[in-house]
Amino acid sequence: MSYIGGVYYLTYTAVSPNGVGVGLRTTSDWLNFQSYGMILPPHNKDCTIFEEKINNLFYALHRPSSLEIGGNYIWLASSPDGIHWGNHQCILRTRSRFWDIARIGAGASPIKTEKGWLAIYHGANEKHQYCLGAFFNGFGGSFKSNSENRRSYCVAN
């Protein structure tokens, strides 16, 4: 959930006969909701929208999933209206020999700090043991991260 300009943006995993994608609903009063259906097509999930527009654009982290032709990585997308998304960029990948070797996905909305954005994410190893991690980076026209900016905070036994 993200709160931007008096509107709550609620992303969720939308299940359809054609696969799992990202759905969106909005509300300003928690009584009336606008549904936009699937805003990111299958197979995609783990979406979170930044709680501030940057250069007059919405930004979101999401995870298109395709082990056959890529992996379960975190991507960044931008939107002029919070509904239509484009300019997708892979910004965080799984790492070999680490707790997030099998898959990663976005968590809560990134948190703006004085030095940039702090993003919480989840990851899992090949035994499906989930862990909580974070990465940090500034935002100067592009959002990039690397292994040196990542750290685990809660590791399953």
105-154 pLDDT, tens per residue?
998 899 988 878 888 888 888 888 888 888 877 664 445 544 445 666 66
Task: Identify the pLDDT of residue 56.
Answer: 94
Q: Show contacts of 65-68: CB within 8 Å, 24+ apart.
A: 65/103
pLDDT band at 51 (very low <50, low <70, confident <90, very high): very high
The CA distances from residue 105 to 76, 115, 142, 145, in Å, are: 11, 23, 19, 14
Distance (Å, rounded) from C-alpha 76 to C-alpha 90? Answer: 6
31's CB contacts (< 8 A; 6+ apart) are none
Q: What is the pTM of this model?
A: 0.86
Task: Identify the pLDDT of residue 147.
Answer: 46
Task: Identify the pLDDT of residue 114.
Answer: 83
User: pLDDT tens, 70-107?
Assistant: 778 899 999 999 999 999 998 888 888 888 888 899 98
pLDDT band at 23 (very low <50, low <70, confident <90, very high): very high
Q: Show contacts of 145-150: CB within 8 Å, 24+ apart.
A: 145/91, 145/92, 147/95, 147/98, 150/92, 150/95, 150/100
